Homo-oligomer: A and B are copies of this chain.
Amino acid sequence: MPVKKHNFSAGPSILPEYTFERCSQAVLELNEMGLSLLEISHRSDEFVDILNQTKELIKELLDVPSSHEILFIQGGASMQFCMIPYNLLPVNGKCGFVDTGTWSSKAIKEAKIFGETHVLASSDDKNYSYVPKEYNIPENLDFLHITTNNTIYGTQLKDLPKTDVTLIADMSSDIFSKPVDVSKYGLIYAGAQKNIGPSGITLVIIRKDLLGKTGRTIPSMLDYQNYIDKESMFNTPPTFAIYAMLQTLKWLKEEGGVPAMELRNETKADLLYSEIERNQMFDGVSEVEDRSLMNVTFRLKEEYKELETAFLKHCERRLISGIKGHRSVGGFRASIYNAMNIKSVMALVHCMEEFEKANN
């Protein structure tokens, strides 16, 4: 095996070696069938089995109730920003959003094309460093959209808003990182490229009774009902991405499932946040109570600001990759998704300690 880097990339991001090894093999030959995974028909028994296994495993790992359907859709979370109002916002309906960053804002922009869109709360005033908690939710909304984890800012929703309005959640960057009560949501969606698999596939979990009520004519490829009726095979799905998703979920199950991931993620986050607090040179970016367990944002204190490049270089020498912060926040961001081993977090903590000793 090659010397691996500690990959703190925000997405596409680290996946288990288990996934890499099995995908690499399947690209040469799948299941000793004399064909590559990439060249088999999506209607072949082998692929249909892969798709069904993936669905069943998601159902099992997230305890998805029978009221909900599991769909695989191309186009990323960004495509969901338009599919959600297309399918769930009636003509003359109303929807609400909590604006917790770039991705919420993009979802709001698309919803406005389709109808009346209310931003109920926003943390824009402090560059999205916290999650708004006190706000009024009108009862007549057709849905309320939230983003459970904000990859760029390093904040995470800890408590669901209390409401009877249908909840829609973008869980792109924290799905499978901790248990979630699927029955509380009308729709959950997640671009795969954090905890699920490579880019090119989006998981959607939808409560079936919500559909068919908008009065809109929906193009086939944007119509959730079509994905339900054709079991995500109306046309050719991204077969490789689905196979990779299956491997990642198999690994997750072998590691103990979602509760084991939660423990593991809390341990990693604790380790890193403790070092950020202890270390004289660094500060956290987001409010302590809203800190994300997936994306840890931090920066050098004002007096050390000019050492930013030096710290990045130091990290690079220690084989630490992908910790430069997003341009809209600056500083550093360590994404510590499910697949990241605690040893990589320890390597980063050690790096921060070394840097403090050398410069403080």
Contacts and interface: CB of A to CB of B under 8 A. Distances in A.
A219 interface: yes
Contact of A241 (B1, B20, B200): B200
A211 interface: no
B15 A39 contact: yes
Contacts of A27: 20, 23-24, 27
A79 to B, nearest CB: 5
Given A5-B35, A11-B236, A78 B23 contact: no
A40 interface: yes
Interface string A259-286: 0000000000000000000000000000
A12 B36 CA distance: 10
B23 A38 contact: yes
A193 interface: yes
Given A28-B2, A199-B236, A221 B34 contact: no
A28 B24 CA distance: 6
A42 B10 CA distance: 10
A358 interface: no
A81 to B, nearest CB: 7
Given A74-B200, A198-B239, A199-B239, A219 B82 contact: yes
A86 B29 CA distance: 40
A240 B239 contact: no
Given A5-B33, A74-B76, A78-B220, 16 more contacts: A1-B28, A2-B32, A3-B34, A5-B34, A11-B41, A24-B27, A74-B75, A74-B200, A79-B221, A82-B220, A110-B220, A198-B238, A200-B200, A200-B240, A201-B238, A240-B240
Closest 9 A-B residue pairs measured CB to CB? A200-B238, A82-B219, A74-B74, A78-B235, A5-B34, A24-B27, A38-B198, A2-B29, A199-B236
